[in-house]
Amino acid sequence: MGGKQSFPMVQIPKGRTFVVTGASRGIGYETTKWIAMMGGTVVMACRSQDAAVQAMRRMNKEYKELKSRGETPGLVDVEELSLYFMPLDLSSLQSTKEFVHTYRESGRPLHVLVCNAGVVKAIPEKTDDGFESMLQVNYLSHFLLVGLLLPMMKNAAADDDIRVVMVSSDAHRMCKFDLETIDYSGEPEKFGYFDYYGRSKLYQIMQAHCLRRRLRNTGITVSAVHPGMVETDIGREFLDNKMWQLFVSFNRLIGMLQCPYDGARTVIDLAVNPALQGAPAVYYKNCSPGGSSAAARNEVHQEALWTWTMETLKDHFKEDEVYCLEGADPV
């Protein structure tokens, strides 16, 4: 860790509850582990129960090793970290709704939602809901997740520090905003996967801006983060691509590739740092305000995207949930 640690080692009450999507590996794994090691309760929202259970075992093992060495002050003193698994497949809107139903039935509060899970696809794939997969997994299903969980978060906001953190990317700077081609329907060989990946991350930042405006009087903090260029298995579909191999090797050589822990630092900071309640900026990187692209900050385009998204997902929201998303108090 050394000098790179930029989030404070705060003592998180066990009752303070976090949901992290894609929590079993990469940035989500490190985010989950460190929040739990500071005392928080974390619900791991993942597709695979086996992967989540294995991740929990590894987290507890690493926690006990750190604790025994005594090199990291501020760790909670418990036998087992407070970790729970709930199934969530963001490629399915139905699975997203079922996760929310299960979460509500659990009786748990929700203080911090970390929208971390994401995919990169080399060729265009359609989900069962009919959307290009990066659009749905990285953006649409997370939008639905936020919207369905928001009423219970707003009910707690008067007394608690409530936050939504969206893990975006500086890849959003490399693309333009175009509603006409938002859901790719062209030929597979013409698919610009990096462009569409960047678009999905652009939409997250634009959503954060829209939510900020609508929730400005609720006490809920909404932010987006660029974790840096992180060496995870998100690019596993490109392992046979020579250009990808050269790209990874070059960036590893010059020290641009970060480990998942370093990539998670800003995410963790936005999730736990008391000083970032009501954080003034929308977009962060390196644990500081980062400044997003002009396209991400364009309020006309933000509202156009919001209108398109609400129309696209209208059959999945109840009327009171729509009112809540638009800033009204939950019923």
Q: Report, as an integer, the average pLDDT of 10-33.
A: 96
Distances (CA, A) of 14 to 37, 52, 291, 308: 10, 20, 34, 39
Q: Report, as an integer, the average pLDDT of 145-168.
A: 89
Provide the total of helices (H) and of strands (E) in the chain, helices listed first. Answer: 11, 8
Q: pLDDT tens-digit profile of 97-149?
A: 999 999 999 999 999 999 999 999 989 999 999 999 999 999 999 999 999 99
Per-residue pLDDT at 247 exceeds 60: no
What does the H/E/C string look like for 32-47? HHHHHHCCCEEEEEEC
Domain boundaries, the chain: 12-230+260-323
What was the pLDDT predicted at 270? 97
What was the pLDDT predicted at 193? 87
What was the pLDDT predicted at 148? 98
Distance CA 138, CA 204 (A): 8
Distance CA 10, CA 241 (A): 42
Q: pLDDT tens-digit profile of 206-240?
A: 999 999 999 988 889 999 999 876 555 555 555 55
% the chain with pLDDT above 90: 78
Q: In degrees, to the nearest 5, what angle opens at C-alpha 191 toward C-alphas 189 and 195? A: 150
Q: Report, as an integer, the average pLDDT of 245-253.
A: 47
Tokens of 43: 């619900």
Per-residue pLDDT at 315 exceeds 90: yes
Q: Report, as an integer, the average pLDDT of 169-182.
A: 94
Taking the CB of residue 158, how many other CB atoms lie within 10 A of it?
A: 9
Per-residue pLDDT at 257 exceeds 60: yes
Taking the CB of residue 270, how many other CB atoms lie within 10 A of it?
A: 26
CB of 17 closer than 8 Å to CB of 109: yes
> Which sign, positive or negative, has the C-alpha torsion 24, 199, 132, 122?
negative
What's the CATH fold of domain 12-230+260-323? Rossmann fold (3.40.50)
Tokens of 39: 């005392």
CB of 118 closer than 8 Å to CB of 138: yes
Residue 244: band (very low, low, confident or very high) from pLDDT cuts 50, 70, 90: very low
What was the pLDDT predicted at 156? 75
